[in-house]
Structure 1
């Protein structure tokens, strides 16, 4: 698989920086990875992240651009004593920037994180309480996804329709049952949550390569469903 080739190259290039650990989360760890479609979501723990190390990481990722699937490789860099309340150096979308390691990501790593190198996540990452996870999921729905529904042009894009509906389904399970589910399981749950079936099937066709015509009014259907659905879910748990 091209994924294995890319991961082997990444680990080999990272080795001179003596990483303490490298973990996979997301679909690669959760069992729903689709090569060429799914992102490669990684966390690497290094002893230090000074300016010279950041420069070396930028050069490392620039070299990886020649590898197939390199655009899907996203890696956040931590130190062993990293403050989880802060934003952390991340390579994604072909650039370096900073973003937080969310409670959902940390819970994924504790629950089913895939160790690619070094110590396991529980040795280095603080656990996530149910309250912390619930608060984050509600805040994400209320403060990010709900306002985004007001920006109609966004929802003409595949990524917003797919992630919007799948995130809502996954959030529903997390809030109601306290567990995390894969995107595949979330897709199966959407009809039972009242999502428009034609849009669910549209996501399934694109995600798993099934033939079929696009849904012309999927943006309106998705926004019309998600608005009241998010409001009801957040009101019950916020």
Structure 2
């Protein structure tokens, strides 16, 4: 199903004259699970991306929406003249809508390290290399300015997505800051107990994400899990940021 959707997407994209199309995230890093993982893509187009291109991109994704995996296909569109600036916001289709976001230093480093070329030129031909300091500054800033304030928003943490992303992103950030490595979500999950994360919460994530048996399912677990996660992440992020700021 995934390959069929990617083939159809690439076929539709030909009308926009792509220079390159790359996959990053789980699809490129070996942790992809069909029907659960996002399809994270980057498309580089010729010339400027104006309102007309945005309209055509929206129509392209609308034509794909009958595919059951289409809601998981996210693509950011760069032009061949705007690939260098990591602060620039690019046209993006994700979560069934168009908006603009950056291609972060983490994504850029992923593309250089293990990006999957679906069409055209390789990332190294179009994207400048990411300096180590730029990468570490971004990771620290993301933990400090986004995730640390988010820990204080208690209403979010009864939801699976915040528990999963919060803990996994913290483990991945820790490894990147320690030695520059980029680990998969599966590897990050395995690392979390050694980083002091509550083991029953880690087991819960593994049970849901990887369909492993066991794990707590009692009444009130979501609320208890939220408290365990927030109690751990608040201090863990503070210590990480203090060590690398």
TM score, norm. by length of structure 2: 0.95
Report the Cα offset of residue 229 of structure 1: 0.4
Q: Could you tell me which residue of structure 2 aligns to residue 141 of structure 1?
A: 143
Report the Cα offset of residue 93 of structure 1: 0.3
1:230 correspondence with 2:219 = no
1:22 correspondence with 2:17 = no
Report the Cα offset of residue 52 of structure 1: 1.6
Once residues 95 and 209 of structure 1 are traced to their aligned partners in structure 2, the CA distance between those partners, rounded to angstroms, is 30
Query: What SS does the aligned partner of 1:111 have?
Result: helix
Q: Could you tell me which residue of structure 1 aligns to residue 64 of structure 2?
A: 64
Task: Tell me if the contact between 1:138 and 1:234 (Cα under 8 Å) persists in the aligned partners.
Answer: yes
Task: Tell me if the contact between 1:199 and 1:222 (Cα under 8 Å) persists in the aligned partners.
Answer: yes
Once residues 124 and 84 of structure 1 are traced to their aligned partners in structure 2, the CA distance between those partners, rounded to angstroms, is 13
Once residues 47 and 88 of structure 1 are traced to their aligned partners in structure 2, the CA distance between those partners, rounded to angstroms, is 14
Once residues 4 and 139 of structure 2 are traced to their aligned partners in structure 1, the CA distance between those partners, rounded to angstroms, is 34
Once residues 176 and 105 of structure 2 are traced to their aligned partners in structure 1, the CA distance between those partners, rounded to angstroms, is 12
Report the Cα offset of residue 53 of structure 1: 1.4
Once residues 15 and 168 of structure 2 are traced to their aligned partners in structure 1, the CA distance between those partners, rounded to angstroms, is 38
Report the Cα offset of residue 8 of structure 1: 0.6
TM score, norm. by length of structure 1: 0.98
Q: Could you tell me which residue of structure 1 aligns to residue 55 of structure 2?
A: 55
Task: Tell me if the contact between 1:6 and 1:68 (Cα under 8 Å) persists in the aligned partners.
Answer: no
Task: Tell me if the contact between 1:23 and 1:115 (Cα under 8 Å) persists in the aligned partners.
Answer: yes
Once residues 176 and 170 of structure 1 are traced to their aligned partners in structure 2, the CA distance between those partners, rounded to angstroms, is 10
> How many residue pairs are counted as aligned between the two chains?
237
Gaps of 5+ in 2: none
1:204 correspondence with 2:210 = no
Report the Cα offset of residue 195 of structure 1: 0.3
Q: Could you tell me which residue of structure 2 aligns to residue 76 of structure 1?
A: 76
Q: Could you tell me which residue of structure 2 aligns to residue 221 of structure 1?
A: 228
Mean Cα deviation higher: 212-221 or 168-177 = 212-221
Alignment of 1:22-171 (within 5 A): 22-48=21-47, 49-82=49-82, 83-171=85-173
Once residues 147 and 206 of structure 2 are traced to their aligned partners in structure 1, the CA distance between those partners, rounded to angstroms, is 21
Query: What SS does the aligned partner of 1:20 have?
Result: strand
Q: Deviations over 1:125-179 (max 9, x none)?
A: 1111110000000000000000001110100100000000000000000000111
Once residues 211 and 158 of structure 2 are traced to their aligned partners in structure 1, the CA distance between those partners, rounded to angstroms, is 20
Once residues 230 and 50 of structure 2 are traced to their aligned partners in structure 1, the CA distance between those partners, rounded to angstroms, is 44
Once residues 232 and 51 of structure 1 are traced to their aligned partners in structure 2, the CA distance between those partners, rounded to angstroms, is 44
Once residues 140 and 51 of structure 2 are traced to their aligned partners in structure 1, the CA distance between those partners, rounded to angstroms, is 36
Once residues 80 and 28 of structure 2 are traced to their aligned partners in structure 1, the CA distance between those partners, rounded to angstroms, is 21
Report the Cα offset of residue 18 of structure 1: 1.2
Report the Cα offset of residue 54 of structure 1: 1.2
Query: What SS does the aligned partner of 2:77 have?
Result: strand
Once residues 153 and 71 of structure 1 are traced to their aligned partners in structure 2, the CA distance between those partners, rounded to angstroms, is 25
